[in-house]
Amino acid sequence: MGRSWKELGECFFDYYTSKILVIRSRKVGTLNRFTQALVIAYVVGYVCVLKKGYQDTDTVLSSVTTKVKGIALTNTTELGERIWDVADYIIPPQVEDGSFFVLTNMIITPNQTQSKCAENPTPASICTSHRDCKRGFNDARGDGVQTGRCVNYNDTVKTCEVLSWCPLEKIVEPPNPPLLADAENFTVLIKNNIRYPKFNFNKRNILPNINSSYLTQCVFSRKTDPDCPIFRLKDIVEEAEEDFQTMAVHGGVMGVQIRWDCDLDMPQSWCVPRYTFRRLDNKDPENNVAPGYNFRFAKYYKDSDGTETRTLIKGYGIRFDVLVFGQAGKFNIIPTLLNIGAGLALLGLVNVICDWIVLTIMTRKHHYKEQKYTYVDDFGLVSI
């Protein structure tokens, strides 16, 4: 027990200092230089050049406004021949959060009034007598409040009568081809302002080289007009490898992605937006329940006798979400020094790796170990 304490005391007061051992070996030398080359290539090539580790970075702040233009002509039984302009098919007219909706198809129920009519047939509304209908009952999935009467829906089916906007909307599929098929030729001007607050840098996607005359006639094209901020809706959908007319039947959601990746050590003219497009909603053919994008809205009128009527529209269309991403970088001494320090630390690990290989794997490992470690005890040199 006393000997153990003595050995522990001696170890506690040991002092370790570095010793340089030069091993003249092609194998060890090649391994050392190769490992150093890997570390230097990683620090210089990947960290500094590819990832720009010498730069400080900031994420983009962005605002987006849009303006859609275009005219469409429809001729339906319910509305007759009609022109649709931007006030009709952009819903709501003031878009927010970088999104806008374009109406492409619809189911129209005209001349609805507050009256009584037979409910659309469902398991909950089909009846055989008045006893099957409960006065005042309101089905959350129905179209009105039951009056307590069972009436003829058609020659073969009876349903409960409801107080509602009548006639009720028919349960049918949307028209195919879509009513507003001309919407594919509508254009949208996307105005995007970005800022990198850390670097006090501002820019917009209407670049300095774009003037008013160019803006009135250009349409985005990757080959001829890659900087034009005006996009044809059909081109957006086709860039996402979709068919506009097919998508317009039930509607959907498209993403317009604007990426600002800017190296602020370079001229500001090099900082330009990159546009990509993709469909965001699910179109899995194996899971096609409730496809597309739709909602209902109504236009209200009053007759000369004061009777209120409305035209109910179940609108289908495409919602466009403008999504802005980006990162800017600029030289800063702090990340530069941090990455240089990390690189030097990695170079230090090279010696550790080579020492481990020499002392554990090499054929003459015992000889190397004897040469590497020596003890100095009471000023007497003892080799082990």
Strand partners, 367: none
What average pLDDT score do residues 183-200 get? 94
* The pLDDT of residue 135: 93
Could you tell me the two tokens for 31? 């391994």
pLDDT digits (tens, 9 = 90+) for 66-91: 999 999 888 887 778 889 888 888 88
Q: What is the mean pLDDT of the chain?
A: 86
Q: Are 185 and 231 in contact (CB under 8 A)?
A: no
Amino acid 7: pLDDT: 60
Is 6 annotated to bind a ligand? Reply is no
69 is annotated as contributing to ligand binding = yes
The pLDDT-based confidence of 383 (bands split at 50, 70, 90) is very low
Residue 343 — pLDDT band, cuts 50, 70, 90?
A: confident
Give me Rg for the CA atoms of the chain: 37
Instruction: Give the pLDDT confidence score for residue 2 in this predicted structure.
Output: 55
Give bridge partners of residue 103 from the DSSP assignment: 317
Encode 33-54 in three state secondary structure.
Answer: HHHHHHHHHHHHHHHHHHCCCC
- What's the longest Cα–Cα distance across the chain? 122
Q: What is the pLDDT of residue 377?
A: 62
- CB contact at 8 A, 313 and 296: yes
**Cα(318)–Cα(254) distance, rounded to whole angstroms?**
7
What are φ and ψ of residue 113, in 5° steps? -135, 160
Is a pLDDT exceeding 60 seen at residue 201? yes
pLDDT in tens, 139-150: 888 899 999 999
List the domains of the chain with CATH numbers: 21-54+332-372 (1.10.287.940), 58-119+168-330 (2.60.490.10)
Q: What does the pLDDT look like over 103-146, one tens digit per residue?
A: 999 999 999 999 999 999 988 899 999 999 999 998 888 899 99
pLDDT value at position 170?
86
Q: Is 296 annotated as a binding-site member?
A: yes
Q: Is the pLDDT of residue 95 over 70?
A: no
CA 253 to chain centre: 12
Q: Confirm whether residue 295 is marked as ligand binding.
A: yes
Known binder of ligand: residue 187?
Answer: yes
Q: How confident is the model at residue 376 (pLDDT cuts 50, 70, 90)?
A: low
Q: Which tens digit of pLDDT belongs to each residue from 5-62?
A: 556 556 666 666 666 777 777 877 888 888 888 888 888 888 888 888 888 999 999 9
Provide the pLDDT for residue 384.
Answer: 45
314 is in an annotated binding site: yes
295-315 per-position pLDDT tens digit: 999 999 998 888 899 999 999
